[in-house]
Chain A
């Protein structure tokens, strides 16, 4: 692995985004607008807004980075640039880390804007640290990116890649405890939810936002998010083949 190549790759991915102003605007502003919409929908029910908005803030980057990365990586695979890179002195980890650094920095801005709007303008209140919520949002973004990188290997068109979002992300959202507390689910669903990374991402956010937990109280969740990210990256690296049929 080479810091020079990793940095060049991150700069290249950011330059690609930079040319696509509309995507940047959508990435950065849509989560804040959705939180604003949520506060309007729940107008008058502040406890409900506080309960739902903080976890949502932390989960948006997971969803957007999952989508953006799976499309970006699919283009890299189908456009021939991946094959070219694989004939060059670039380690697979350079490519994956480069993507990770680029999208994590976008997630920092995205979560920052969303948090500023939610906590600043919309009166969202969290029992725990706002910074910790933003940090978790960025961690979730990297998890979403890693899953997107891995799953892009199984899509042969952009249509398919987009469909992976409802196929792989929505079930996790339904089961993570945001809509129905997990202990009220059937035993089977609760068991399934325990195997899904978003469950731990949501649990961490909820504990910080509602119960005022600190980083030390959610170490298990953080470990699962980090472990899930590393596992997805390792699986993603395995799908980057230098030699193909």
Chain B
């Protein structure tokens, strides 16, 4: 990490960050999956968590949601310990596998989750519109394509008025037009103070973020901005920058 700001140096006081991770260590099945991960994201950030499959992205997101048992470290969201009861209607989560009921229609799924969250039923129309499923609300999830299922799952995360959105690969396999629209939506939400942490294994999504977390083998290689990454590595694109960072790491 020679020329890049170390993750710990960018850590601001917890009270100011929407998401604050400090010295996070997670072991799954005897294997260390996250080793000393620290970062701090202020409100209104659109942060991209990038790295190859299996590098620990989902585990980090699960830790931030408070559903992952952790070995060491501290994870705070909106100032409260991750997974606190108070956070359950303020933080929304989209898992990597579409977690919606296959034997219900899109509308039935969203209506159920809206009621659990206490969001108005009218929210269902808003979020189906946002993910481009407006014409398919009456269809069973079972009959949808993989991308459509993922969108139904993303729509669920948009219900209510979450202050933090944790999205695990939300744009995989999507039509480029829809992908562009979703990123525009993410930035509109961020402009309103919502903090987004979005994972992807596709490096070209990096340019759409205001903050980048590059991950490999359970460690953060970089915690910077897209411009900062290219400047500090002298690489032409994020993919090349990733390789520079991997070679710099002892």
Contact = CB atoms under 8 A, between A and B. Distances in A.
B67 to A, nearest CB: 6
Contacts of A5: 115-116
Contacts of B91: 87
Specify the main secondary structure of chain A where it touches its partner.
helix
Interface string B100-113: 11111100100011
B66 interface: yes
Contact of B99 (A16, A84, A242): A84
Nearest to B98: A80
Given A81-B100, A88-B117, A244 B66 contact: no
Contacts of B140: 19
Contacts of B117: 88-89
Contacts of B69: 243-245
Contacts of B113: 84, 88
Interface string B140-174: 10000000000000001000000000000000000
A242 B104 contact: no
Interface residues of A, number: 25
Given A12-B112, A244-B67, A89 B102 contact: no
A80 B112 contact: no
- The 10 A-B residue pairs with the shortest CB-CB distance, nearest first, are A80-B99, A8-B115, A89-B88, A12-B112, A84-B99, A89-B89, A16-B103, A87-B93, A80-B95, A81-B99
Interface of A: 4-5, 8-9, 11-12, 15-16, 19-20, 79-81, 83-90, 242-245
Interface of B: 28-29, 65-69, 83, 85, 88-89, 91, 93, 95, 97-105, 108, 112-113, 115-118, 140, 156
